[in-house]
Structure formats: C-alpha cells, structure tokens
C-alpha cells in the first residue's frame, strides 16, 4: 500500500501527533455512553409502527403493563403530560417524541416499555398490539411532488431558518423546501448552445451504521435534567430540550464523552427528547440503546433524483446548466431542508458556467427519515454532475480531463451563487489526480473476461454557514493547559487537533494539553460537530482563546518584571508565592456570511470551500458484472494540515465508506414500505476484503488563509468523487453507463446484457 501526504513540519501544528486518547482506545477503556450505567436506571425498549402510513386506532399496552418486572409503558398520551406540544426538529417541528394520531413510516416509535431488566422490556414490547387505519403511502421523491398522499397535514417550520418561514402552515404539499437559484439566463443560453445534453441520475437510501448504535441516558430531579448522549450536537440538544420543556437552558445539562462513530447520524434530536420525558415520568434514570436494526428506522441518507441538462458551445465550454434535484427526506425533515439548500447551490459542480438554473426540493415521503451523512448531500450531487460531465466529454470526443480543464471554476471567478472562489485549489486537485493516474499515458485495458478501465471525478462543497463556535483555554499554575470546547470527538481526531492548536499558540507540547469533553454546564456553545466545520470554526475559536490566555500571561509576566520566555509555572509562583492561580482565555468565532437573495445570489456563501477528487483504476468481470477497484487515488484541498496522519486517515476512511455506498450498500424496501435488510447480515458495509489493493491519499499544498494555521475541514472531502469516478471507469472498461447507485454486480451485469 502506497500513501503520501505533504505537510510543513512546524513545532506542534503540522506534526502527526498520535491521538491523545490512544491508550484509552487500544485498551478498551475509552468512555462511551454505550457503557454508562446509573444506579436505579431503567431500560427503555421501543414498540414501533408496522405500517408505512396510518391512523392509530388503538394501542393495547395492557398485557405489557401486566408482565412481571415492567415498570411502566408510555405512549404519546403520557408524553403530553410532560410536554404538551412534543414535536421537535432542527428545520421543522414535525417529529413527535412518540407517534401522535398517525404513523408516517415503518419503524416509527409508538410506545416505550421501561424495566430494570432490558430483556423484560424487550419481552413486554412483543405483548403490545396496535391497530391502524392504513392510508395510501408515497415512497418516491419525484412522485411525492404531485402525489395525492400528503405526509404532513400542515408544515411546521421551526423558525430557525429564514428561508423556511414562508412554509408555515402550508397544506396539501410534501415539499418541505423549494430552493431556487438563477444566474444569467439558462433557458436562453441553452437554446443557442451548439449541443444540449440531458441526463437523469438516482441515488439509493443508505444508512450511517455507526458501530456504537445511537444511545442516550437521562437522569432528572424535580427541576433539572442531565442527558448523557452519543451526540454530535450537545448545544443543540440542550436548546431543543429546554424549548420542549419550557425550562431555562441552565437546567438542562448535556454530556457527551467519546462517540463511537457519527457520520451525521447522531445530530440534532434522536433519542434525547424521549429519554428526557421518560426520566421525568419515571423519576428514575432511563437509558435507551438502539439495536443495529433500529438504527435503520431512525436516520438515513437521502435517496435522490437529479435531472441535469447542459448546453455546450462549439469550443467545448459549458454555457448553460439546469439542475433539478429531488431529495427523499422520508417522514420527518430532520436537516433535509438544509441539505437541499446548502448542497443545492453547488449542484452545477466546480465549473465556470455563466447561465445556471437550480431547483432543489426537499420532499416528505413515507420512508424512514433522512438527514446528513458525510457530505451533506454533496456525494449525491457529484455522482450526477461528474457522470454527466464524463458523458458529455466522451460524446464530444474530448478527453474527460481536458473537458474539465476547459470549464474549471478558477480562483477569483464567481460560483453559481455569485460568490467569488477563494482558497479553493480546484485546478491543483484535478491536475494532481490526473498525474497520479498517469492520465494521458497508455493504459493496460485487460482482456476478456476482465476488462480494465479508469475514471476521474472532482467535487466541491461549501461549508455550512452561518454558524458559531466558542472555546475557553485554561492555563493552570503548573503550566499545563485545559481546552474547553463542545466539539465532539467521534473519531475524526478533533481533541488532538484542538490540543495542537492551543499548544502551538502557548508554545507547549501537545501532550501538555487536555481537552474537556462536551458538557453544556462546563463547555461553551458550539453549533454542532458536522459538515467538516469544527477544525475551522472551533479551531479558530481555540486559537483565539489561547491567544487571549497568552496575552494575559504576557501581561502578568510584564507586571512581575519577568521576561516573556519565563516558564509559565514560574510566573504563577512569583505572582502567588506558591503554586496557585490560573488564566482563562476565551474565543468566539463567527465567520462573515451573507444570506442568498430570492435568486440564490450572495457575495459570501461560505466561510470556506472543500475540494476533493478521486481517480480509480478498476477491473470489471464481464461474466459476473463484478467490479474490483484496484487503485484508488484521493486528492484533496484541506488547506494546511494540522495533523497530517489524521488527515490521511480521514481521506482514506471517507473514500472507503463511500466505496460501500457506491458498490453495494442499499436499503431495500418492498411495495409496502417494509425494509427487508435491516441488519448487518443483509446490509453489508465495507470490510477488510473490500479495500482496494492500493490507495493513495494526498493533500495538495494549499492554505486556507482564514483557517487556523491555514487549515480547514477534511472529514467529508474524500467522499465527493468516489461514486462517479467508478461509474466513469466502468464505462471506460466495458462501455456501459449506469446512472443509478449502487453499481452492484447485478446492475453492471444487466447493463452488459442490454448492450
């Protein structure tokens, strides 16, 4: 296996420091909510809807209540005694703590059994029965636009996002957001283009599958609540639970230790509202741990349909592009409307196109809810526009890399929103990927039955805006340092990166810094750990906080007549006459942002751009349709890496995860909305044997001038190009074009048979 990452070596930043929690993780001692047990704790097990859409006629919990060892059984009726309006969600207040009157997808929580013994609770769940008046259901995102089946009687925007306010109380629609962008005149330019190309692409519904399944514990007193939760967004959880209960925020405490994988599954409210209400009802601590099966009914990645149309001039320049994207959000909006908009405005791809029209729709359907999954919708878009781009190039007889070069969105040029590109190494990333593939040089095409091909794809992403991170940095009397942030380390290495940043500012070894895990009573507000935003936002906040602490220490030294390079411990000793005291620096970071106008235009759409390209070499077995990726090349603009080894691991891991979404992962539903493969036995995720023989990961030399020490986020970047690069390589190998994910052996075999 060959790998490479470039980075400048400075003292703390730019150094591949082993993760601070290494010992804890290799000895099995890292703290996860999964492990948490509290005295007197009850376990909750959930009774779930067996129909996709129906009115609840009757729920019979009497047998469950009667089972020995059962503490109580809770339905929406009991929930309402604690929270009269028990609907939550970041974009819409549409999701009930437990189903009220209606169920909207198979697997929706309807009732909960509490017991001291989880096996008793599980047995009691089997004794609950429910009767539904079944209603017609809608599953397809395009059908949902015009369907007579309406998932929600009226839309209930949360009020947080200005672009959703117009949807308040709107009836008879499944459209939870209709994002629109217009730049130039796409229709006119299309009409005068030399050639017009039009294609439709689809992606499938998949699941995050964190190996620590979603889990929350709540403990309460009369007027306070502590929630221990495997969450990527502790600050949001506190605000939302406080809102539901009508309590001040300082009576709700949210703690998050290490998280066993998130990928977007553990955002916003998942089990937190439910355990909070159960704990207040039972007056005992309550824990709910989902099974792997239950995770499939809780949060997923949007299936999507993307209709893309391009007008191309005689010189091979794309002069117009129309994008229509439908996002299958399932029964509850979760963060889908933000995916629809924040990703939607990048739908034309990293190309310089004067005339663009984008319509991006968030749809309600009767499937399990969809949210953010490692890319916030970007992998679905890149799948379509980079397949489309390759199809145009091949049709025109232009080399696919050359065709991209002709159209690339270069530094300083306006993106579809009108925002000028800054610090986005699109060109460097494309060129480096092509070079690593030896593009333009002869290529061994194999022979029957194993045909070889190669492909390339490039994508980009805007970081979510408008968001805030705060940090505090404490320098202790012995010169050690404690960082307080609400960023959650779910495996991406944020603890280590934050420690490196603080250490760099304070001229300490990284190992002298500890990072306090999110605890809303202790750590300051942070929007959430999502969308590759933390290293940039929280990293900048930590840098500001450490600089504040450094300035205070310098002032103290000066006041004491000490030189500025006096060891910190000596400064405190001189000040207090013994080991005492501390200095606390604070940092508050919010980058500038301008909201889009009615045409999606803005001068400042994002604090930074992420750029990622993938090149693949693969073999297609023409007798079985099976694809074997033999070489995977991931190139990214991550700014200047803080920790090159962790950056490389993020790139590699992200690309392998996307390989699963590309080649085999798919949630299979029958005609009644029943999921047929909700277990790892039937839903396969990548294992050791699925990893390509050779993976090359490279960060191009780049700098994000507004980032901490030139750095920016990396968690999602390697997911962008994987799917279309593989489809393009399959076409290169065997001449068939597949427009729907996954590229399973069956799909390839059938396409070959139709050829």
Partner 1 sequence: MRRTVRFTLNGERVEAQVAPHETLVEVLRDAFGLYGARESCGQGLCGCCTIVVDGTAVSGCLYLATLADGAHVQTVEEGSELDAVQEAFIERAAFQCGFCTPGFVLMTRQLLAEHPDPSEEEIRHYLSGNLCRCATYPEIIEAVQLAARKRR
Please identify every residue annotated as catalytic. 716
Query: CA-CA distance, 604 to 91, in Å (whole number)?
Result: 22
The token duo for 515 is 């990072």
Choose between 292 and 398: whose C-beta lies nearer to partner 1. 292
Query: CA-CA distance, 715 to 744, in Å (whole number)?
Result: 26
Shortest Cβ distance from residue 39 to partner 1 (Å)?
Answer: 13
Question: Are 355 and 413 spatial neighbours (Cβ–Cβ below 8 Å)?
Answer: no
Choose between 116 and 482: whose C-beta lies nearer to partner 1. 116
Query: CA-CA distance, 560 to 556, in Å (whole number)?
Result: 6
Choose between 311 and 713: whose C-beta lies nearer to partner 1. 713
Shortest Cβ distance from residue 237 to partner 1 (Å)?
Answer: 19
Classify residue 615 as exposed, middle or buried by CB count within 10 Å of its CB (0-12, 13-18, 19+). Answer: buried
Query: CA-CA distance, 378 to 11, in Å (whole number)?
Result: 35
Torsion angle (degrees, nearest 10) of CA 404, 406, 408, 410: 150
Choose between 293 and 672: whose C-beta lies nearer to partner 1. 293
Shortest Cβ distance from residue 463 to partner 1 (Å)?
Answer: 21
Query: CA-CA distance, 470 to 486, in Å (whole number)?
Result: 8
- 3 state DSSP class of 407: helix
**DSSP structure string for 162-180:** GGGGGGTT-BS--EEEEEE
For residue 265, what are the contacts with CB-CB under 8 A and spacing of at least 6?
207, 208, 210, 214, 295, 298, 299, 371, 373
Residues that bind partner 1 (CB under 8 A): 1, 3, 16, 18-19, 21-30, 32, 34-35, 37, 119, 208-213, 258-263, 291-293, 490-493, 645-646, 649-650, 652-654, 656-657, 679-681, 685-689, 691, 695
Choose between 10 and 35: whose C-beta lies nearer to partner 1. 35
Choose between 47 and 263: whose C-beta lies nearer to partner 1. 263
For residue 559, what are the contacts with CB-CB under 8 A and spacing of at least 6?
none
For residue 246, what are the contacts with CB-CB under 8 A and spacing of at least 6?
none
The token duo for 188 is 């006119």
Shortest Cβ distance from residue 491 to partner 1 (Å)?
Answer: 3
Shortest Cβ distance from residue 35 to partner 1 (Å)?
Answer: 4
Shortest Cβ distance from residue 630 to partner 1 (Å)?
Answer: 14
Listed residue (17, 5, 21, 24) closest to 500, CA to CA: 17
**Angstrom distances, CA of residue 347 to CA of 181, 306, 307, 323:** 10, 9, 10, 7
Other CB atoms within 10 Å distance of the CB of residue 693: 12
Choose between 213 and 724: whose C-beta lies nearer to partner 1. 213
Cis peptide before 161 (omega within 30 of 0): no
Choose between 25 and 168: whose C-beta lies nearer to partner 1. 25
Shortest Cβ distance from residue 726 to partner 1 (Å)?
Answer: 16
Shortest Cβ distance from residue 652 to partner 1 (Å)?
Answer: 6
Torsion angle (degrees, nearest 10) of CA 341, 342, 347, 348: 110
Shortest Cβ distance from residue 123 to partner 1 (Å)?
Answer: 10
Question: Are 338 and 296 spatial neighbours (Cβ–Cβ below 8 Å)?
Answer: no
Choose between 259 and 627: whose C-beta lies nearer to partner 1. 259
Return the residue matching tokens 């009269």. 84
Please tell me what DSSP assigns to residue 343. I
Question: Are 122 and 45 spatial neighbours (Cβ–Cβ below 8 Å)?
Answer: yes
């Amino acid at each position: 296996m060959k790998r490479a990452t470039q980075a400048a070596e400075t003292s703390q930043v730019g150094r591949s420091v082993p993760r601070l929690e290494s010992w804890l993780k290799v000895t099995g001692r890292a703290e996860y909510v999964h492990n948490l047990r509290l005295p007197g704790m009850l376990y909750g097990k959930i009774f779930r809807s067996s129909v996709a859409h129906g009115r609840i006629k009757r729920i019979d919990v009497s047998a469950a209540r009667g089972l020995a060892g059962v503490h109580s059984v809770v339905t929406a009726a009991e929930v309402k005694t604690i929270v009269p309006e028990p609907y939550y969600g970041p974009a819409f207040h549409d999701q009930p703590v437990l189903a009220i009157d209606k169920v909207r997808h198979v697997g929706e929580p309807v009732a909960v059994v509490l017991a001291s013994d989880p096996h008793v609770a599980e047995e009691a769940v089997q004794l609950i029965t429910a009767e539904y008046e079944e209603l017609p259901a809608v599953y397809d995102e395009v059908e949902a636009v015009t369907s007579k089946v309406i998932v929600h009687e009226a839309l209930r925007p949360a009020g947080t996002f200005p672009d959703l306010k117009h949807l308040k109380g709107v009836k008879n629609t499944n459209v939870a957001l209709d994002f629109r962008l217009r730049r130039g005149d796409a229709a006119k330019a299309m009409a005068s283009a030399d050639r017009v190309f039009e294609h439709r692409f689809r992606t499938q519904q998949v699941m995050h599958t964190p190996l620590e399944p979603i889990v929350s514990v709540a403990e309460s007193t009369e007027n306070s609540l502590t929630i221990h939760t495997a969450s990527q967004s502790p600050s949001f959880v506190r605000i939302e639970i406080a809102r539901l209960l009508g309590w001040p925020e300082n009576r709700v405490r949210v703690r998050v230790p290490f998280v066993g994988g998130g990928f977007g599954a553990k955002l916003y409210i998942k089990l937190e509202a439910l355990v909070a209400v159960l704990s207040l009802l039972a007056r005992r601590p309550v824990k709910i741990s989902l099974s792997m099966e239950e995770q499939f009914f809780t949060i997923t990645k949007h299936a999507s349909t993307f209709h893309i149309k391009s007008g191309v001039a005689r010189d091979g320049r794309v002069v117009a592009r129309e994008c229509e994207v439908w996002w299958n959000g399932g029964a509850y909006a979760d963060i889908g409307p933000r995916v629809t908009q924040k990703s939607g405005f990048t739908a034309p791809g990293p190309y310089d196109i004067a005339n663009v029209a984008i319509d991006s729709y968030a749809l309600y359907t009767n499937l399990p809810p969809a949210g953010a999954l490692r890319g916030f919708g970007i992998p679905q878009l890149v799948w379509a526009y980079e397949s489309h781009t390759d199809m145009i190039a091949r049709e025109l007889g232009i080399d696919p890399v050359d065709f991209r070069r002709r159209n690339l969105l270069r530094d300083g040029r306006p993106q579809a929103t009108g925002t000028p590109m800054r610090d986005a190494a699109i060109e460097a990333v494309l060129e480096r990927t092509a070079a690593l593939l030896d593009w333009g040089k002869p290529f061994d095409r194999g022979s029957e039955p194993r045909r070889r091909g190669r492909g390339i794809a490039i994508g980009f992403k805007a970081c979510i805006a408008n968001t805030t991170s705060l940090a505090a940095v404490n320098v202790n009397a012995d010169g050690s340092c404690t960082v307080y942030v609400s960023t959650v380390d779910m495996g991406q290495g944020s603890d280590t990166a934050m420690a490196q940043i603080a250490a760099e500012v304070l001229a300490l070894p990284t190992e002298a810094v500890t990072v306090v895990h999110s605890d809303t009573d202790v750590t300051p507000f942070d929007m959430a750990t999502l969308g590759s935003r933390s290293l940039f936002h929280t990293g900048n906040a930590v840098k500001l906080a450490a600089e504040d602490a450094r300035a205070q220490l310098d002032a103290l030294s000066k006041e004491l007549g000490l030189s500025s390079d006096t060891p910190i411990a000596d400064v405190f000793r001189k000040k207090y006459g013994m080991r005492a005291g501390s200095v606390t620096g604070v940092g508050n970071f919010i980058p500038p942002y301008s909201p889009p106008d009615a045409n999606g235009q803005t001068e400042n759409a994002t604090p930074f751009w992420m750029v990622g390209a993938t090149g693949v070499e693969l073999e297609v077995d023409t007798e079985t349709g099976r694809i074997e990726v033999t070489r995977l090349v991931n190139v990214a603009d991550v700014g200047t890496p803080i920790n090159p080894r962790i950056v490389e691991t993020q790139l590699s891991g992200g690309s392998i995860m996307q390989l699963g979404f590309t080649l085999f992962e798919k949630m299979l539903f029958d005609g009644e909305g029943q999921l047929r493969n909700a277990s790892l036995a039937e839903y396969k995720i990548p294992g050791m044997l699925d990893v390509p023989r050779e993976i090359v990961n490279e960060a191009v030399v780049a700098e994000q001038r507004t980032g901490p020490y030139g750095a920016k986020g990396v968690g999602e970047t390697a997911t962008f190009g994987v799917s279309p690069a593989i489809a393009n390589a399959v076409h290169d190998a065997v001449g068939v074009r597949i427009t729907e994910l996954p590229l399973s052996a069956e799909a390839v075999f059938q396409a070959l048979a139709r050829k």
